[in-house]
Structure 1
Amino acid sequence: MTETARADDAGPITSGVVPGLGTVLAGITMVAMLVPVRRGVDDPVVWAGTILAAAAVLAFLVRRHGGIERTIAGPIAAGSSITVVLLTGYALNQGTTAPVSVPALSSTIPIVFVAFVTAGLTASVGVADYLGIGVGGLKRRTQQVVVLTAVGFVGLFAPYLTTPVVALPVLPFLDSFSEIQRTLLNQVVGQVGMALGTVLVVGAFLKLTDRDLSFIDLRRPTLRDLAWIVGGIVVLFGVLYAISLSMQATGVESADHATTQSAQNAPEMLLVLIPLAILVIGPFEELLYRNVIQKTLYETFSRAGAVVVASVIFAAVHVMAYDTAGLGAVIASLGTIFGLSIVLGVIYERTDNLVMPALVHGIYNAVVFTNLYFLVG
């Protein structure tokens, strides 16, 4: 679709439902941000987030009552809310969580994280309102995002079922292997299990959605495609460097990937992961998250929107891999993954060839693993 609304979205635009939903979400964000303020948190980041959330509320309210056009209210609400996402992420990283007790759950909820989530949703509604997407279109897109997010997480957990199957043939011989050999074998089995699980999930998705293998975008790279690979790798590391510099400048701490922690105890595993990054990790992750999820999103989102939404899903499924530190550090790491995923998504969107992002992703991971090996080896 294009950046404008579909014809079947036009009817509900004037109903005020979409700006009304935006008002509610922005209001929740504002109230959540007021909690640490009322508790005496004297942090300019929190105050700025509260003010910007209020600006989003005001933009939606005025828009709903006909005071300004959607082309003005939408960008104000979306821009304010995206900034709130960044501010709340920073606040969480610096330890400002404002926990609220939930007696029914016998636990607490970090209310600043609630603001982080609702601000992201508010930004989405602001973009939808700007594009003239009505309540029907918003519902359709939301349903698709929920389904494809579920597909992404099924792809994440599928290896827990397939890896034991892959391991069965080698189990009788484990006692004859040394500890290092078992470590290397575990990596091979784990990655083969991941590949098998991904293939099963993709196959099931194609079957359930009445698609065939022609949906998979595989073709031999041309010279132009090779330029995309080289350029993509350079841009990917450039984005990583820029994000790292900004984090250092602002004092943001990130979480280590679980592989990094494992490699400190057994650096030899990286010698196996380096080739597997190119042969397995890159191709099969891109198969699921770019060729299946991002391409399916083209049906209801603009291509640019599909790249962003697919990147959000891709970052979200990495939460377990980075669950090695506090909430704020995990969010910072997922933010990095989101930025890198945008690059991969653009490469796939521009080339319509799975080989391109698969190679860029795989080579990037291989370089990272190589560097890590020399650091901890």
Structure 2
Amino acid sequence: MSPDERRSVGALAVLYCFRMLGLFMVLPLLALYAADLPGATPTLIGLAIGVYGLMQALLQVPLGWLSDRVGRKPVIVGGLLLFALGSAVAAMADSIEGIVLGRLLQGAGAIASTVMAMVADLTREEQRTKAMALVGASIGFSFILALVLGPLVASVSDLAGVFWFTALLAVSGIALVIWVVPTPQRADRSTRSNGAQWGLLAHSLRDGLLMRLNIGVFVLHFVLTAMFLVVPGLLEGSFTVDRASHWLVYLPVLLLSLLGIVPLMILAERKGQLRWAFLVAIALVFVASLIVGIVPSSPVFYGGMCLFFVGFNYLEATLPSQVSKAVDADGKGAAMGVYSTCQFMGAFAGGAGGGWLLQHAGAHALMGACLGLVLIWWLAVFRTGPDVHSGGTPAAAQ
């Protein structure tokens, strides 16, 4: 990469990290801290977790389209302002409804697709894959940091302090965009007609391989969000881990999970068995959901959480790369837009639907729903076979 590309990609990776920290930091906290608010129920807590994903799913593609018309920077700055406003609303909320409103406003700042488009704008085609990988790595780093940092900040300043911290991250991101990230040239952007863009979007919705990948990311984020409706309460209640010390559980689990990804990467990359690596990773998520559902002894439970993050981290990193390989250059933007929408819809369904199920049927029913979805996904991948995608990507590679 050239010095300008490194500076641009580095700044956008930091911006993305700030943005995802703001999302992930509250994930292990809301099920615990929001329960103390007046009127809180599992359904409303689940809605508070999931409504962010709903707004992201609804607005990701429209805001990406808007950025093609008015420029990337105005859309990114506007999205960060909305995220900061939502954080402030949630920080000052004295009811669960206020938290839901704040999370809704946070989610309305749906800038992920615009940031990725800006990465493409500011890099040469031969450097684009590397640039996307660096931004993707920042997401993984932010996830690990958030699960540790969130409980630490909350132990000092409660949930309100976490939301104020995420507002500060958003404001810092605005400063990065305005003063560090270069403004892309409009000529670098796509000149396709609206009809052509809608055609690419329709293809992304019809294509069988892409559909299976999109269903996969929906299930993965459904289960992730549902897990954090149940796991924090189990740590505090069943295993008597003080909520201020939850990071002492998450940190070693996440670090060990990173080591666990290595065999899957060897199986996929060196042995050429990507399909079987996917099947193993999905099976790990299934086993972890089963362990959480039966709530065994603490060592088994912690082992189950480690297995979950091995499977989750591998799939989270590999699914988008498979989407990008399944389409040609002209279709990548539309395909990734649909993929991101399914990802966030999974988070919404896991939060809102999972919260309702938790309230009316209990934790066993919620984890049973997760098991059913993961099993369907595993069977779909297992039965795909060695057929070849029209673009030359093996369908089994999902």
TM-score by length of structure 1 reads 0.35
TM-score by length of structure 2 reads 0.34
Compare CA radii of gyration and give the structure with the larger one. Answer: 1
Higher relative contact order at CA 8 Å, sep ≥6: structure 1 or structure 2? Answer: 2
